[in-house]
Amino acid sequence: MAEHDRPEPQAHLSVWDAVAIVVGLVIGIGIFRAPSYVAAGVSSEWMFMLVWVVGGLITWIGALCYAELAAAHPNAGGEYHFLSRAYGTSVAMLFGWARCTIIQTGSIAAVAYLLGDYAARAAPLGEYGPALYAALAVIVLTTVNVMGTAQGKNLQIVVTLLQIGAMLAIIVFGLFGAAPPVVPAEPTVPPQTAALGMAMIFVLLTYGGWNEASYLTGELKDAPRNIAKVLTLGTAILVILYVLANFALLSVLGLQGLRGSDAVAADMMRLAAGPLGETIVTLAIVVAAISTLNATIFTGARAFYAMGRDMTVMRWAGQWDHRRRTPVNAQILQAVMALALIGLGAITHDGFKAMVDYTAPVFWLFLLLVGVALFVLRWRQPHRVLPYKVPLYPLTPIVFCLTSLYMLYASVVYTGAAALVGVGVLLVGAPILLFKAARTIDPVPHLPKLHNPSEASLVFIKPPRQPGDLP
């Protein structure tokens, strides 16, 4: 099929559709695991709450940086497209390789494993029960998304609403439910040795996933104007829910109770609402895992699609199904690779942890490169009038880049040997550059000459026309 005849993504997602997908991506597994690790790294209750607020602020800063990039360069390829613009197709292709083999598929496998762990408790299937449930979840949800974007989007909206409802129940029971009084305990971590760095790692991992919004710009209505709304509204909802949820957990369990709990939400609900409360939170974890898994599958295939358009050996993955409004071949490829990682995780002691260790360092490496890309693109296009500008430039992106750099360092130190495996897989992907297609990134559109500098505020630069766009 000729390049100009290829079907392209159509703008059909509303702001609230995209917000639902972003919120569903982030509110998932982390909030039910991370608080105990965070509590172990702080010296007081106020410090526990402070790190969650600071983590929300860092997330918001990152969202503002992504909003500028996504508004100026809306594309279904998201970060892949940003890196192409800033550094060229070669760096973007390495990112595509990392996302396909490490970041995205590893995240899908990790969430699927969590879902499998809880499903196996309810209906055991033997030693490999979690892996079997994980594989089944990937197959079912991929099938839903292959059926079409509308089906995947509608499922995401439903489970996100259920998910937020469950989170609100935890907050209400935690803040207003009758619970046995918690006796304050002396902190076991003295202030001078409190592992705040490790606490922030788990906080930011819990907030992670907001960057996936960039992959929706190829299908978001009026993306240059609306993507900032999506990221701002999405992160605001997340910060409010997370801060309130952690305050509820702290008010019932106390700092020491959080440190000693392996299932903080279940323990809190057992104290606040009895066995029924514990059942509710268990169902909430299952819903959260389904929501995160579905949203990750939905957005992840867009990177496979973008990469397929730039590689001669993956052209078939770069085809867009116009009728179903989804990259069907990319969805199938993503599922196959995720299933392979689930099989790999089945032979480890903890499949979920193995996938987290495997993905973290490479993820933060490329997030750092995306942050630097904002500076690169502004330097290359100094006179371009941007649809949206990150506030307090250059301070805001500097903070984002420094945070990403620290998280890269910390994730390498924390994951150890697993980090080397991820880096090794990244290096193995270097030969894919030999298959780079003879296709260049569309040039930045010609800027009109302004006779008066004040006219800049009236100029709106449209993104380059894509093949298949209507005149």
Give pLDDT tens digits for 105-155. Answer: 888 888 888 778 777 766 778 777 888 888 998 998 888 877 755 555 566
Q: Which pLDDT score is estimated for 273?
A: 73
pLDDT at position 155: 64
pLDDT tens sequence across 253-282: 888 888 887 677 778 877 877 777 777 777
DSSP 369-413: HHHHHHHHHHHH-TT---SS--TTTTHHHHHHHHHHHHHHHHHHH
CA gap 382, 389 in Å, rounded: 13
**pLDDT over 80 (residue 364):** yes
Distance of CA 56 to the CA centre of its chain: 14
Least confident of 153-162, 249-258, 423-432: 153-162
pLDDT, position 75 = 77
Question: Average pLDDT of 326-353?
Answer: 77
CB contact at 8 A, 152 and 229? no
For residue 375, the model assigns a pLDDT of: 95
Give pLDDT, residue 347.
77
Return the pLDDT at 465.
41
Q: What is the pLDDT of residue 152?
A: 55
Per domain, the residue ranges of the chain are 3-458
Q: Superfamily assignment of 3-458 in CATH?
A: Amino acid/polyamine transporter I (1.20.1740.10)
Confidence of residue 436 (pLDDT cuts 50, 70, 90): low
Share of the chain above pLDDT 90, in %: 10
Q: How far apart are CA 12 and CA 450, in angstroms?
A: 33
**Res 52 pLDDT > 90:** yes
- At residue 108, what is the residue type? I
Look at residue 160 in the predicted model and tell me its pLDDT: 67
Q: What is the pLDDT of residue 378?
A: 92
Instruction: Check residue 399 and give its pLDDT.
Output: 94
Of the pLDDT bands very low, low, confident and very high (cuts 50, 70, 90), residue 289 is confident
Residue keyed to tokens 């299952």: 286
Tell me: the pLDDT tens digits for 62-103? 888 988 998 888 776 778 888 988 998 888 888 888 887 888
Of the pLDDT bands very low, low, confident and very high (cuts 50, 70, 90), residue 432 is low
Residue 18 has pLDDT above 60, yes or no: yes
Residue 394, pLDDT score: 93
Mean per-residue pLDDT of the chain: 75
In this predicted structure, what is the pLDDT of residue 7? 53
Instruction: Give me the sign of the Cα torsion angle 239, 245, 248, 254.
Output: negative
Residue-level pLDDT at 190: 44
